Amino acid sequence: MFAGELISNKIPPLRTSDTVRTALERMNEFKLYHLPIVNETQYLGLVSEEELMETRDQDTAIGALPVALLNAFTFETAHIYDVIRLLGELQLSVVPVLDQQKNYLGIVAINNLLSYTAGLYSVSEPGGIIVLSISNRNNSLAHMSQIVEADNAQVLSSYISSFPDSTRLEVTLKINKTDLSGIVASFERYDYEVKAVYNNSNNDDDSMDRFNSFMNYLNV
């Protein structure tokens, strides 16, 4: 998936002639705290709600303000992981997308990304979740999949979490089966440490809670 495939044009960019009031109202309307400023097709940068809130006269044109614009963007051919990286590292609510000539094409808003990521990790699909704690030397998704498939199930999605100053990894597997007892027993038989098990029969909200924990680094 490329950044250009997630562009939203429903949120218009700001112009230098727009007032601070217009900018703040638009941010409030779309529940964002950044918006791009564009001159024709030229991308000028991102302005933040925090800076605009400091302006006393909200009828002032944005172009007349001494605000520091954030020069953050990605190209339409960039992988979606690059968008996630920018959102996380710079604590953004939108990432502007440019073509190879640096013309403004649109933005990827955090809500669009969340919807895409939810689909990517099969959050809404029925099934259960197993969380494993493993050594980084034993990180074999192929072996884990074999264990799951031996119980006539499939891994719908997976992701790995690492921890600072630790050789341990946490692997989360979404499986298309709610009765996970047999799979859990198999993992334990192969000396995997099963940290947690979630399934729809226990609590339908567990999978979403787990997903929300995964997305915390985006500061949603």
| Tens of pLDDT, residues 169-199 | 999 999 999 999 999 999 999 999 999 998 8
State the Cα–Cα distance between residues 88 and 81, nearest whole angstrom.
10
Residues 155 and 197 in one domain: yes
State the Cα–Cα distance between residues 97 and 74, nearest whole angstrom.
5
Residue linked to tokens 């995964």: 214
pLDDT digits 0-9 by tens, 24-37: 999 999 999 999 99
For residue 159, what pLDDT is reported?
82
Domain count, the chain: 2
Q: Which residues pair with 106 in a beta bridge?
A: 97
Residues 24 and 96 in one domain: yes
- Domain CATH for 169: 3.30.70.260
Residues 158 and 87 in one domain: no
Residues 143 and 100 in one domain: no
pLDDT digits 0-9 by tens, 56-106: 899 999 999 988 899 999 999 999 888 888 988 999 999 999 999 999 999
Residues 152 and 99 in one domain: no
What is the reported pTM? 0.65
Boundary of a domain, candidates 87, 116, 145: 116
Number of Cβ within 10 Å of residue 118's Cβ equals 14
| Three-state SS at 195 | strand
Residues 59 and 106 in one domain: yes
Residues 187 and 206 in one domain: yes
Number of Cβ within 10 Å of residue 42's Cβ equals 11
pLDDT at residue 50 tops 50? yes
Residues 135 and 112 in one domain: no
Boundary of a domain, candidates 116, 139, 161: 116
Pairing type for strands 168-175 and 128-135 reads antiparallel
- Domain CATH for 104: 3.10.580.10
Owning domain of residue 153: 121-218
Q: Which residues pair with 131 in a beta bridge?
A: 172, 196
For residue 202, what pLDDT is reported?
44
Residues 73 and 163 in one domain: no
Boundary of a domain, candidates 64, 87, 116: 116
User: Helix H segments across the chain?
Assistant: 20-30, 49-53, 80-90, 110-120, 141-149, 181-189, 206-214
Selection from 72, 74, 81 nearest residue 98 by Cα? 74
State the Cα–Cα distance between residues 173 and 121, nearest whole angstrom.
10
